[in-house]
Structure 1
Amino acid sequence: MIFQDYPTRDALMQAVASKLAADLQSALANRDTVTFAVPGGTTPGPVFDALCQIDLDWSRVHVLLSDERWVPEDHAQSNAALIRSRLLQGYASKAAFTPYYSASDDINTAADKLSQSLSALGAIDVLLLGMGADMHTASLFPKAAGLEAAMAEDAQLLVPISIAGQEVQRFSLSAPALRAAGAKHILITGDEKREALNQAKDLSEAEAPIQIVLPDATVHWSAA
């Protein structure tokens, strides 16, 4: 793990955007099409705002979500809607994007279909993740229903996840998909998450799913 801290949140967001752009540019120099997996949530929004204004050959970038709630894009909790409004703008409007929700399928059928079709893209070239104070990443939460299947060595690209107390089911990239990614970046802020990160180092992947990617990831952190 490489740990980088930044004096301010603004400095963090700008630096992460620049690093992601550099990694995408490097991948584009070696492949016709590259895959860029990103999280939802509010934290990475400023990264996306900066990144979409960087002039890359976005027409050769395929954007995927690290996880998604099983809701249509007009729902307030849709990660796809966030990505369209914050990342797929400016230069990055030329990127390909595959949303996961389908009104015509149930979540299990959709996971199977998408895993088959998106696996043709190959391993993720550049991966950006967040982490919760409970040490989850993507939608791989400790003790979640579906976590064991997502951790299996032969798990498909996308797996359904259910979390106790939450009515909305989720999609998540599986552990093998996350582990196989090329450039891995984790974006966190605040003392609570830094402490959680320190705790995760001594726990198993089942107890702290962030451990799936932590050993060879760059962690970007600011206090505020």
Structure 2
Amino acid sequence: MLIESFFNAKPEMLAAVQTLMVESITSAQQEYGQALLALSGGSSPKPLYESLGQQDLDWRSIKIALVDERWVDKHHSASNEAFIEACFTKSGQDNVDIVGLKTQADNAAEGLSEAEERYHQLGRSFDFALLGMGTDGHTASWFPHAEGLDDALSNTGHEHTLLSVVNAQPSKVTGPHTERITLNKKAVLKAKTVALMISGPEKLAVYQASKTASVEDHPVAALLQQYEKDIHVFYAP
């Protein structure tokens, strides 16, 4: 089911998302002694991460993993790992625990098994997964008609597989870095709380269209059209 929250301004939306995240974190810390978050890159969540880093939380028991990553080294400007780390560092959390996806392998396919092992070592499903959406209808690194998209969205296959390799078709949205590694749909839907954050009228139109579109054309439809998991959708102009 889609749980939609529409706001008049981005600050209101970000505050609501942060409230849900903090609730998830504190609940997980009480139940498990640790909170596991899966976070996305992109400019939209930047103020959210910087604000979250200023909250009075037990950061020693918060572990952050990536929803997806471009196959670039951490020092690269396109690295989601570096971006998320910088956001929390700016807010004063210099030692935030981030589990990256990029390995020393030459390509994502060769690095997949090592990345899988890193995520399996987390020990359980994520407490909170934060996703965004592009104007092309992608979320995570599930890009339209991409090589590997079928694997990422498959409902079958190995039960314990968390990640997929995706090679996207080059576009203005993908930029030059089309080789990606990403959480698959099964891993996202296993998260206790899943949130999708979108902003702007163009993305709103894509979101609404994705409720009935094919997953090949609008991969975010794989989340919007399933009934296994509630998806918290947050929108602001």
- Normalising by structure 1, we get a TM-score of 0.91
User: Which one-letter code corresponds to 1:71 in the other structure?
Assistant: V
Q: CA deviation at 1:200?
A: 1.1
Equivalent-residue separation in structure 2 for 1:205 and 1:18 (angstroms) = 30
Range 45-54 or range 204-213, more displaced: 204-213
8 Å Cα contact 1:35/1:126 also seen in 2 = yes
How far apart are residue 106 of structure 1 and its match?
A: 3.1
Aligned-partner residue type, residue 163 of structure 1? A
Residues 102-113 of structure 1 correspond to what in structure 2 (within 5 A)? 102-113=103-114
Q: Residue 161 of structure 1: which of 163, 166, 169 is its match? A: 166
Distance across 2 between alignment mates of 1:146 and 1:176: 15
What corresponds to 1:64 in structure 2? Answer: 65
Distance 2:221 2:189 in 1: 10
Matched residue pairs, number?
Answer: 223
Residues 141 and 180 in structure 2, CA contact (< 8 A), matched pair in contact too: yes
Counterpart of 1:198 in structure 2 is: 208
TM-score (norm 2): 0.87
> Residues 8-19 of structure 1 correspond to what in structure 2 (within 5 A)?
8-19=9-20
CA 173–117 in structure 1, closer or farther in 2 if over 3 Å, else same: same
Native 8 Å contact 2:85 2:96 kept in 1: no
* Local SS of the residue matching 1:159: strand
Corresponding position of 1:218: 232
Task: Give 1:171 deviation, angstroms.
Answer: 1.0
* Letter of the structure 1 residue corresponding to residue 85 of structure 2: R
128, 131, 153: which one aligns with 2:130: 128
Q: In 2 relative to 1, CA 108–200 (structure 1 residues): closer, same or farther, beyond 3 Å?
A: same
Identity of aligned residues (%): 28
Range 82-91 or range 66-75, more displaced: 82-91
Preserved contact between residue 154 and residue 176 of structure 1 (Cα < 8 Å):
no
Contact 1:34 1:61 in 2 (8 A): yes
Residue 209 of structure 1 deviates from its aligned partner by 2.1
Q: Partners of 1:53 and 1:29 in 2: how far apart?
A: 20
Partner deviation per Cα, 1:56-79 (whole Å, 9 max, x = no partner): 122112101111101112212111
CA distance in 1, matches of 2:91, 2:47: 14
Cα shift readout 1:33-52 (whole Å, capped 9, x = no counterpart): 22100110111101011111
**1:90-119 CA distances to partner (integer Å, 9 max, x unpaired)?**
464443211222234532232111212312
Give the aligned partner of residue 149 of structure 2: 147
Deviates further, 160-169 or 32-41: 160-169
Q: Distance in 2 between matches of 1:29 and 1:136?
A: 34
* 1:94–1:46 CA distance, 2 compared to 1 (3 A): same
CA-atom RMSD in angstroms: 1.9
CA distance in 1, matches of 2:141, 2:71: 12
1:135-168 Cα deviation digits (max 9, x unpaired)? 2100001200111111222252121111122653
Q: Is the 8 A contact 1:130 1:138 kept in 2?
A: yes
Structure 2 residue matching 1:30: 3-state secondary structure: helix
State the SS of the aligned residue for 1:87: helix
Shift of 1:203: 2.6
Distance 2:166 2:192 in 1: 24
CA distance in 2, matches of 1:35, 1:212: 23
